[in-house]
Amino acid sequence: MTAKFLFGPAAAAMMLTTPAFGQAATAAGQTQAARAADDNRLICKKEAPTGTRFGKRVCHTKAEWDQIRAQSQRDAKEMIDRPKIDDSRG
């Protein structure tokens, strides 16, 4: 009788956790698919060119915006790291 009390909860716990392994693999596949769909999502931003109050609507995919941001960061880092010209000699 004691074995029934010990085996029952253990069997129930195993049955509850078994579907989670199958779902984890499916969730990983869905996550990659969702990430790919997210990268192809179109995002529009309003940019105001210098010298005007009127904004311009610019649309790119998320992946393109990420590339633009990364390039801007590389350009800024290059400007900061560039050697300085010393004009103090007169």
Note the pLDDT of residue 83: 83
Tokens at residue 5, please?
A: 């009390």
Residue 15 predicted with pLDDT over 80? no
Average pLDDT over residues 15-42: 68
pLDDT higher for 5 or 37?
37
Cβ atoms within 10 Å of 63's Cβ, excluding its own: 13
Predicted confidence (pLDDT) per residue in 41-87, tens digit: 999 999 988 898 888 999 999 999 999 999 999 999 999 998 877 77
What's phi and psi for 51, nearest 5 deg? 95, 5
Q: pTM for this one?
A: 0.52
Note the pLDDT of residue 21: 47
